[in-house]
Structure 1
Amino acid sequence: MIYKLSLLNYILSFMKGTLRILLFLFLSSGFSQNKIIDSIQNELRMNPTTTVKMKFYNQLSRALVNIDIVTSEKYNDSLFALSNKENDEKMKMNAVYNNGVLNRMKGDYSKAENFIEKYLAYTNKTKDSVEFVKSIYQLATVQVYQDKKEQALSTYLKAISYIENMKDMQLQKAKILNAIGVIYKNTSQYNKAKEYHISAANIAIAEKDSTLLSIVYNGLGLVSMKQDSTSKALGYFKKSLGIAEKTNNTRVKSYQYRNIGMIYSKNKDFTKAEEYLKKALVLRRKMNNKSAIGGSLSDLGNVYIETNKLDKAERYIKEALEIFRENKTVSNENLMYFYLSTIETKRGNHQKANELLHQYYTRKDSLESLELKEKLNDLDVKYETEKKDKEITKQQLELKSQEAKIQKQQSQNLIMAGLAIFLLLTSILIWFVYQQRQKRKDQEILTLKREQQVKTLESLIEGEEKERLRLAKELHDGVNVDLSAIKYKLTSLLERNNKVIHEAVAMIDKSCEQVRAISHNLVPPALQNFSLVETLQDYCSTTNSIQDIEVSFQTVGSVIEIPKKAEVNIFRIVQELVNNSLKHSQGSEIHVQLSYQENNTIQLTVEDNGIGFDTSETNIEGIGLQNINSRITYLNGKLDVTSDEQGTSYVIDINTKKLA
């Protein structure tokens, strides 16, 4: 059964966020432990009773096992001797257990296994479940060092099954989870390893155990290093080292010196690597941990191979080989043959190198087995322990219970996933509806603005037409009548044959014609009674007759019926453009063309052969285009102006379907 946190990222962020507070609490507990050791040692000096002495010897041996293994062993020897003398079986068995731990720490795994199995038999007899779990944990740890990974995992899982519901055994549970993580790391199953290590870290944080947390950081660092994340691994190792230095945990310090050295070695910084690896070797020699000493010798040997210090490398590798051979750690022993082969290759002794390499691969093939990994995975749900009927039945019940929990968890996960998908789809739908509603509102606003603009333009144009009508009537009914009266009176004087009077009458005739033309321009009579084509034809003819410039009109295509308001605006546009050409072009010809096209489009073209103008610099108001643009906007039309020294061309396209 895999113990996971509900969310891996949540735990990592939680660990980062609370690290400072927890480290303060953890380190404080480390300092208090040192004070407890000093206090017990002071009590011993006061020569207490034999029973109290044995209790103190046991406490000191266990407290010092990670700090000073030699002193720890001395206190345990005193415990063993005194318990034998007093015939105290319980304290004697405590000494046996301590001997198992001490021999494991020193790397003598055969002795460690014998002592732990003896203590395990004792706990079975006394029915002490707490001590039983501790002893099988120690036994499994020894099995790990003996390369009995399958057997070790089975033993660890057996321990887990005993403490599943024991609240006061959470720290022991965390140690087991961490140890299982180490097994999966050693079999290259790094994701599983990380899951177990993080579960252990979660418990260590909850229980505020600094020593355990430093060990878990060590495991996480090793997994990260195996996954080629050296920067993350270095961070974990330094965190672990910081805790170990504050709590004076020699064993963990030696681990972290070694691990940090390995990171620097991997990054090819061999100077720093050698520095840290030597620190680790010194501490391990002091602790007399043979297996750990062999590991440090191997690490340093590898560094010396990389830096071509081959004699020194050979000396360290051979010493490590002897230690691994003595402790029967087969995989480590075999690796030394590979290192020795590398040394001989660098020396140029290829025959010897090939012999050593052949020996390495022969042993490696016998060690590696795909079966091992498969069995390890199977042991997640079924334990390979004693083949007794009672134990098998118990395991089957536990397996069913676990399956039910897994199924329940899976159902909950499916429900949560479905709910999350439903909420996501609902959110997307709400967002989509909101966007569509917003688009409709924006479109309505644009439509209202457009309608308002059209109404404003329509009002302005209607007002302009009314004013034109008023002015035309004033000119026709007022000024024109007055001029006619003056002409009549002057005509009566023509009998006197006065030359001046003849000239005045001619001027009055010309003025009457101009007033009539202006009146017709303001409100063309033809536009009220005839079509746009006829009106434009009449306008161009009239303008041509009274101006020096030739004004012509042409129509193309079949006439398209349009509203009278649109005809008025087109006529006014032609008037304005023709007037601009008359005033500014200095040309001799003006051509107006009205083209009715098949795609419901009217194209109006006004061209002259004048001097042209700069369209990028000309003031629009100066050439009267502002009024034209307003009318084109009202008609939903498009204006294109082209002008150069050969003349000016205005082309206006009007879509008749968009006319109001």
Structure 2
Amino acid sequence: MKKTFSILLFLVFFLSTFAQTSTIDSLKVELAKTKIDTVKVNLNLLLSSNYSEFDLKMATKYGNDALQYSLKSQNYKLADIYTNLGVCELNNGKDIEARAYFEKALGELAIKENKTLRGLIYGNYSTSYERSNDFEKQLEYSLKAIDLNKENDVELCFLYYNHSLIYESAGFHDEGLHYLKLAKDISERSNEFRIEAYSVQLLAYYAINDKEYELAKKYLIRGKEICEQMSSAEICHHMYMASGMLLTEIDNFEGAEASLLKAKEFALQRKIKYDIIASEILLGNLEFKRDNYKKSTQIFNSINIDSFDIETIVYANIFYKNRSLAEGKIGNYRKSNQLLNQYVAFGDSIRLSKNRTLLAQADRKYKSEKKDKELLVQKLALQKQENEIQKKNNQMTLLYGISLFLLVASLLTWLIYQQKNKRKSQEIVALKREHQISTLESLMQGEEKERLRIAKELHDGVNGDLSAIKLKLSSLLEMNNKVIKEAVSMIDDSCRQVRAISHNLVPPTLDNFNLIEAAEDYCFNLNEMHTQEIVFQHLGDSFSVSKSSEINIFRIIQELVSNSIKHAEADEINVQISCHENQLSLSIEDNGIGFDPKTVKSKGIGLNNIQSRVNYLQAIMDVLSNEDGTSYTIEMDINKLNDNN
């Protein structure tokens, strides 16, 4: 049964990297509308992830599309794309091709650390050696993945699950069961329902093998609850397969048939040939248990198992054994004997694979014990010599002991001193950081107060005076003076400009609404006033940050959009705010003429002002600019934004 439970789970975590709020159809509409390559990368990755549930061909197609747009956008999210394509190849049974993509993904991560993604790549790298029974490689990469994610329950439950499969495949059931229960407990605690589903399904299989049917029922009840909750064809297929096997074992044949037909329906929906064959094998086994041997042979004979590596086929032992017995029951003794020989050969190959592993371990154990005995003999001889020397040189031994004590004491004193200095240095750095934040915050607050003062003076003073002048000039319009009409028109334009400047200095939307509503209203108003198409998008989760952080983010949007309108000669400006878990991302892109960041960075009050706000937000800003346009990406941690309050 080792291959029954070898399920590739990377897509569980890849899907959780993106907010799954859109359907495939709506994603396709968004993909057709957008003209920005980085947005196309994200949308193609989302489509690839959605299709992976039921159509690997389409998942691979959209993964390759994401790769093409990434290469055009200076390798944007290239590590994620290579990992996704590797998993697609892995699901298609192409292990060597999958490892090539994983190597490329690791190469992209060589410059900057990413423990989560690196751990997932190692986990899938381990799985790629499963079909070759290379347990040493499987364990090596699995342990690397676990070591990177010891404090991350979401990834750890997935890695423990795969680790349990490695031990189970090698024939070490107790070790496999230990890690499987760890995976179940952690996934249940962290609400990782997919891993919990796979864990309880596998525990149910173990219980069925041990004839603990009530325990198996308990696991399957929980598994079907998760199946209904997630509406996953993959999970439902495996749950109904396990349920069909259990009901067959307790002679509930009608219930078993209904469950297995349901499992086959989910397998056909996902177009996974291995799962389709597995469900057909269990249906043939069910008819054999019913003593309906003719129908059993018909089902078995319709299964095309020859086009696959036999050791990768789930329930291959049931297929050969019961098929040979069914043929004998209906009188086809020659064919029955032929199939029985194939069953014996298949069983020998499985045993040989396990025996090789056990033999290698036994050999290592023997060599280790032999080496331990030799070391013990040497140790006894050495101890005898030391006793003789000790009798003759007690004083020297005492002197060495005192010297060693003094050396250790000196070393400990030095370490304690170094540790104190390190703590003091950390405290100084923390105080400097607090002082910098306090200074920046004071500057920002002063700037906002000055903006408010100027806005009020413009609104209450200049705007009021202009309105009074307009009223007096309007009273002279009866004279039909053309010059007066032009003056009134100019005053109207001046009033509108004063209101626009006032609102730009102190946007009223931030007093009454959150950042998303204020930014959307700002872009809408600019769209009405300018020829450029200014588009605002909000992707992912909703979020809440401090008011001071909202103001600074809004000021950054104002400055960057204003720069694009004034200098970029662009037709389209895209403002995008996206949020996932605790990561907030602001992206402002245009399709203008671009600029050279090296020559502009040191000049201009606007860019320096933006950089000051980015520093205050403890964020990271990345600028890409060429003849195809300019892209600003600012990554922020929501926890740090709220700490600024």
TM-score between the two structures when normalised by the length of structure 2: 0.47
| Structure index of larger Rg | 1
TM-score between the two structures when normalised by the length of structure 1: 0.46
